[in-house]
A = this chain, B = another copy of it.
């Protein structure tokens, strides 16, 4: 066996120097050991402070096993229960889970599994006894083989996978009862004793778990969902901010970034965690269903599965954020001066959308039900403004200028056209003072090269570009035939002229994100309705 996996290494995450106790100037052997010990204690302390439930859980497990052990350590209960009580200890160790719901679930699996196994074992044992002394071991052996095969097969069946542990319990409890019954006689007494002690263990585990500072899966699920809302909103804002801030000078290679942790983008990493949290939400919801009404979740049949549904819709929104992030770190990039043309509109739409997502998260968090109509409309109108702005200046995206040198301002601007645009802006100002004025003013600050040349001029340009292409891309083809021993992986070249379309992609994805928000609002509303959140402002 490979020993590498067996070493219980603790990866100590790097801690900012300022936070560390001591300054570690001396570097003698003893000091280093002392220092690393201090760091270790510091880490454990931080880990506990991060979530005090961890300490609570650990102490509760200790208490539960202690309570069960007392039944053996004290003379009086030991006389009643005998050595079978060690099964209680096993049960506590196996049944005790982090949350109340998960403990109930496991306890149920163990209880039902033991019960079924006990009934089966008693039945088969009676049958084996009636077949006589010679046939008995054969009947028992065959029954063990059959139970082993059937339970193992059943736990592979997709809809029974959640009960995997129950099938394990059936298998070993059955074997234990029937085999010890065969050797010690009286299988009914054996199984009853075992069930007693398992029941005691289960009851102790459940009581300690529920009565002493319970950790509810429902509460965890609730918090997890609220945190996801905030993660998506933060990540959206961070992504857009970086897109608009980026001066286009430092585009790290995709290969370096695709697998990267993006240390400068904490919100993105949180959002990516949200994408992978579907299994966590589901298992929490699964556990929460087992919990009685508690704390803020006071009515029976609380719609925990709705939380998972909201989480799924939120994840579909997060997919768009991932795509936006993909554009941000894409190799094909619109030049900076083009990107900031729509800065205000993009920023507006983003801020509104993030605010809506956060407000939804806050509503869920406070268990309030508020009307989102006004907020939604504001998001829509700012998105529509963005669409209008793009629509008006869509010729920018067709990029008849050369955007390769992004540090220069947009070229080829004739003064006449600029002033024409300005005139138009004055004429149109009365139409929609708030929206269009800003749009056009912004355009004047970063005036685009309008596509108003004659048709022939345009075609001449295009034909010139066509001429220039083969020479620009010839290196992509020149190695076609040569197979060098060292494998050469050619890089894809983006035509510079299509780079501008990357901005179109970014805004389209942003608009699609907003479009999906409708469904997020709907699903949160459905949750509020089913969970009977308090109605506010009506």
Contacts and interface: CB of A to CB of B under 8 A. Distances in A.
A152 B492 contact: no
Interface in A246-293: 254-255, 258-259, 276, 278-279, 289-290
A105 interface: yes
Contact of A55 (B9, B153, B398, B466): B153
Interface stretch (A28-36, A168-176, A235-243): A168-176
Interface in A146-162: 146-153, 156-160
B86 A152 contact: no
A428 B489 contact: no
A207 interface: no
A312 to B, nearest CB: 6
Nearest to A479: B373
Contact of A519 (B156, B258, B379, B391): B258
User: What's the interface size class on A, roughly?
Assistant: 35 or more
Given A69-B175, A171-B65, A112 B5 contact: no
Interface in A400-445: 417, 420, 424, 427-428, 431-432, 436
A477 B159 CA distance: 48
A129 to B, nearest CB: 14
Contacts of A485: 538
Interface string A504-517: 11011101101111
A455 B449 CA distance: 12
B145 A63 contact: yes
A388 B490 CA distance: 19
Given A93-B175, A175-B93, A476 B377 contact: yes
A19 interface: no
A254 B515 contact: yes
Interface stretch (A218-226, A325-333, A335-343, A357-365): A325-333
B463 A428 contact: yes
Given A145-B63, A276-B278, A373 B5 contact: no
Interface in A457-478: 458-459, 462-463, 465-467, 469-470, 473, 476-477
Nearest to A528: B487
Contacts of A112: 6
A286 to B, nearest CB: 8
Contact of A90 (B54, B176, B511): B176
A23 interface: no
Contacts of A199: none
Contact of A326 (B140, B497, B512): B512
Number of copies: 2
Given A480-B374, A504-B505, A149 B6 contact: no
A231 interface: no
Q: Most chain-B CB neighbours within 10 Å: which of A58, A417, A470?
A: A58
Contact of A476 (B289, B381, B394, B452): B381
A495 B387 contact: yes
A467 B431 contact: yes
A332 B516 CA distance: 11
B376 A183 contact: no
B168 A93 contact: yes
A216 to B, nearest CB: 15
A142 to B, nearest CB: 8
A303 interface: no
B323 A509 contact: yes
Interface in A47-63: 47, 54-55, 57-59, 61-63
A394 B392 contact: no
A279 B145 CA distance: 33
Contacts of A105: 5
A313 interface: yes
Contact of A511 (B140, B160, B399, B498): B498
Closest 10 CB pairs of A and B: A62-B149, A62-B148, A93-B172, A394-B398, A58-B153, A505-B508, A61-B152, A452-B455, A65-B148, A58-B152
Given A63-B148, A381-B477, 8 more contacts: A65-B144, A65-B147, A73-B137, A86-B175, A373-B487, A373-B488, A380-B490, A384-B495
30 contacts: A2-B290, A5-B108, A8-B160, A58-B152, A65-B148, A66-B144, A72-B183, A89-B179, A255-B518, A258-B313, A258-B316, A276-B279, A319-B319, A320-B323, A372-B489, A373-B490, A380-B492, A381-B476, A388-B495, A394-B501, A397-B501, A417-B455, A432-B470, A452-B458, A483-B538, A489-B521, A489-B522, A492-B518, A494-B515, A504-B505
